[in-house]
Amino acid sequence: MKIVRKVLIALGVLLLAFIVLLVGSIVVDSLIGGKRVEQLTNTTIVGLDGQEVRAFVARPEIAGPHPGVVMIHEFYGLRPSVVEKAEALADEGYVVVAPDTYRGKTTGWIPRAIFLRVTLAMEQVVGDLDATFDWLASQPDVDRDRIVVMGFCYGGDAALQYSLAHPKPAATGIFYGSLVTDPAELQRLPGPVLGIFGAEDASIPLSEVNAFQVALDAARIPNQITVYPGVGHAFVSGMEAIQAGGAPGAAWAEFLAWLEATVGR
């Protein structure tokens, strides 16, 4: 019994040390990353609650009006890979705004990313997205009737939740975001849906993707759902991966083609 007790005590100490180190790493990451969002953004939007929402905005070089895109970051927060994709999309003829829905927080550390996501109120996110959408719609070089909301991972979930809450977007793009499978809810969507998923994604199983498509069809929402074989979650990362081809390049090309077919360019 004494040996068992010693083993249990040792395991308890190790668990406690792990928790302390984990919490400490989150705190340290937050302290050293305070200026990351400020360095990545070039625009400030006033949220519905009066608080500032920083964003990166990219515009085509030629005169508008252009279609617009609200691009929502993944669960790490606003990072250079999102800025790269916003710039690439602007080169295709779209005015793109990528808001910081974490309000000044971003990370590359998975434990902190999980913490940021689980402590975030979706009501605040939807409110910030609404302020962002209205800001984009008010821009003189944007056609307010041709604005798409889209996002990656957490951002795909946020894009879907925003479109369900507000009938403003012309369409919704979801890159491997969490899904809604109730046709009655999906009937509230204001326009077509693009869904991009990976066949090996452990967080969004194919059964859920299939149920999502069935529900969209039942709700009579035009949709284009594609599952890419051999890839898992978050496979469309930065522009380097997209330009290398493979599934990331094909998915990005599909998105561009869908975007042009839906709102033009």
The DSSP result for 197-229, as a single string, is: EETT-SSS-HHHHHHHHHHHHHTT--EEEEEET
Span 151-167, average pLDDT: 97
For the whole prediction, is pTM greater than 0.85? yes
Non-local (6+) Cβ contacts of 126 within 8 A are 158, 161, 162, 165, 166
What percentage of the chain exceeds 70 in pLDDT? 87
Burial of 84: CB neighbours in 10 Å, binned 0-12, 13-18, 19+: middle
pLDDT above 90 for 188 = yes
Q: Are the CB atoms for 85 and 71 separated by under 8 Å?
A: yes
In angstroms, the CA 157 to CA 148 distance is 14
Q: Are the CB atoms for 101 and 128 separated by under 8 Å?
A: yes
In angstroms, the CA 120 to CA 138 distance is 27
Which pLDDT value is given to residue 34? 56
- Phi, psi of 39, deg, nearest 5: -75, -25
In which residue are the tokens 């302390």 written? 20
DSSP 43: E
Q: State the angle between helix axes of 2-32 and 110-118 in degrees (0 to 180), rounded to the nearest 10.
A: 80
Span 118-123, average pLDDT: 90
Q: pLDDT tens digits, residue range 193-248?
A: 999 999 999 999 999 999 999 999 999 999 999 999 999 999 999 999 999 999 99
Which pLDDT value is given to residue 108? 85
